[in-house]
Amino acid sequence: MSQVNLDDVRSAHSRIKTYLADTEIVSSESLDNAMNAEIYFKPEQLQRTGSFKFRGAMSAMTLLSKDQLKNGVIAFSSGNHAQGVACAAKILKTSSVIVMPSDAPDIKIKNTKSYGAKVIFYDRQKDSREKIGETIALKENRTLIKPFDSSQVIAGQGTAALEAVKSIELQDKHFDAAIVCASGGGLTAGTSIVLKDHNPNCDLYTAEPSAWNDHELSFQANKRIFIKNGQHGICDALESPFPGEITFEINNNNNVKGLSVDDEAIIAAMKFAYQEFNYILEPSGAIALACLMSSRATFEGKKVLILLSGGNISNKKFQEYIST
């Protein structure tokens, strides 16, 4: 099975850094006091395409050959990976086809198309996005850019943590813990590789909706657990039924643990981020903060990295959430 190491993450960063937006870590004195901890936020909703997913897409696609770029790429995603791949394809002057669920948020569909991607819809309940993507890839000779179970994508996602570590080490500090949103586990895997080198004793946690906590259950069982018939909630980007193979091996080996919260806690985190920083986060982007705020005792006295992972949400929908 393919693995990823710190050199892979560093190499990815050297390839893509000129394309990245600056997402410098920030903190909140009021939250630090309330949590009795030092909390550092990496605001990846300010990243290009509105999420960290651009990092992984660009990492994988900057390794494509001229012939591969000529034939184009394909990806499947509910929205953030879709936008990352579509944007990277536009930058690299290649074509992209994106397989998206028919119930994906309108803003994510619109944004994906704005980069020139061709969007093909599927039914979450009936269709397999993997089969659709693989069929098109074979038929059109396109390169499939997987959303998480790819060494190159994982290395790219790890670049966010690499930047955060550099920032905190300049202050002569280190992270004691980190909370990372998890769908397939790519961001967590890349982050865990970086942070375990930075501090071998760093405690790492995935953040998931309580109805889609496949990572949390998988870490407890020491094997990949499949979520059956999970109720759809507000975190459309995190409703993956099981961890990736490569990602689970990396995360389990790095002793990652799981946290999960309900929609109410996620909305509270969205409200806090908006009031404190004027950040507009989609629910999936705020879930790591929600898990922190729901687990005060676990992080008391620690220096904690929180990855704010995305902000692709319409103003109307955002206002609906924070007004409840």
For every one of its 324 residues, what pLDDT tens digit does the chain have, with 9 covering 90 and above? 458 999 999 999 999 999 999 999 999 999 999 999 999 999 999 999 999 999 999 999 999 999 999 999 999 998 999 999 999 999 999 999 999 999 999 999 999 999 999 999 999 888 999 999 999 999 999 999 999 999 999 999 999 999 999 999 999 999 999 999 999 999 999 999 999 999 999 999 999 999 999 999 999 999 999 998 778 899 989 998 999 999 999 999 999 999 999 999 999 999 999 999 999 999 999 999 999 999 999 999 999 999 999 999 999 999 999 997
Catalytic residue (one of 78, 95, 284, 309): 78
β-bridge partners, 177: 203, 304
CATH number at residue 126: 3.40.50.1100
Q: Is residue 1 part of a domain?
A: no
Six-digit token string for 247 = 């990602």
* Single residue among 88, 121, 144 that ends a domain in this structure: 144
Let me know whether 257 and 110 are in one domain.
Answer: no
**Confidence (pLDDT) at 228:** 84
Which domain does 183 fall in, by range? 6-51+150-322
Q: Identify the residue whose tokens are 């990652």.
A: 256
Let me know whether 10 and 125 are in one domain.
Answer: no
Catalytic residue (one of 42, 51, 53, 294): 53
Let me know whether 26 and 139 are in one domain.
Answer: no
Q: Is 260 a catalytic residue?
A: no
CB 100 within 8 A of CB 76: yes
**Confidence (pLDDT) at 1:** 43
Q: Is residue 73 part of a domain?
A: yes
Let me know whether 114 and 140 are in one domain.
Answer: yes
Q: How many domains does the chain have?
A: 2
**Confidence (pLDDT) at 45:** 98
Helices (H), 62-185: 66-71, 80-91, 106-114, 129-140, 151-169
* Single residue among 144, 175, 206 that ends a domain in this structure: 144
Let me know whether 93 and 219 are in one domain.
Answer: no
CB 95 within 8 A of CB 89: yes
Q: In Å, how far are 8, 10, 33, 134, 146 from 151, measured between CA atoms?
A: 9, 13, 39, 18, 10
**Confidence (pLDDT) at 231:** 84
**Confidence (pLDDT) at 210:** 96
Question: Please, what is the Cα angle at 188 between 164 and 106, to 5 degrees?
Answer: 95
Q: Is the pTM of this model over 0.85?
A: yes
Q: Is 17 a catalytic residue?
A: no
**Confidence (pLDDT) at 3:** 83
Q: Identify the residue whose tokens are 């870490």.
A: 219
Let me know whether 167 and 305 are in one domain.
Answer: yes
Let me know whether 69 and 182 are in one domain.
Answer: no
Let me know whether 47 and 58 are in one domain.
Answer: no
**Confidence (pLDDT) at 2:** 52
